[in-house]
Amino acid sequence: MDLKKMNAPLNTITRDMGKLDVTGNVYESIAIISKRANQISVEMKQELNDKLEEFSSYTDTLEEVFENKEQIEISRYYEKLPKPTLIATQEFLENKIYYRKTGEAAK
């Protein structure tokens, strides 16, 4: 995921519910957005852990761990990114999320 090319807002904004009704059902749209937000959250957490793991050393003392400035800068960068729900909502509104409806239950 390219975090620099996202155009999602950094702060929560009020949304028009009519614009979220792309699927014909607002609740279905919200479910799609929430599932995508969970995927984004897992991806971001994995990226952060991978980057922080590069700096970890098993011989560090407790004082050395708190003073590692590179880790602090990386953590601050990820804290300033838009939240996964905002990213997923923006993707949904821009039709960048693929979803499909399951068929009707057999009668």
With respect to residue 50, please indicate whether it lies within any of the assigned structural domains: yes
Domain assignment present for 46: yes
Per-residue pLDDT tens for 38-84? 999 999 999 988 888 877 666 655 555 556 778 888 888 888 889 99
Please indicate, yes or no, if residue 17 is contained in any of the structural domains.
Answer: no
Kindly write down the DSSP assignment for every residue of the chain, as one continuous string. Answer: --GGG----SS-----TTTTTTSS-HHHHHHHHHHHHHHHHHHHHHHHHHHHHTT--TT--HHHHHT-HHHHHHHHHHHHSPPHHHHHHHHHHTT-----PPPPPP-
For residue 72, tell me if it sits in a domain: yes
Q: 66 lies in a domain?
A: yes
pLDDT tens for 71-86 read: 888 888 888 889 999 9
Domain count for the chain, please give it: 1
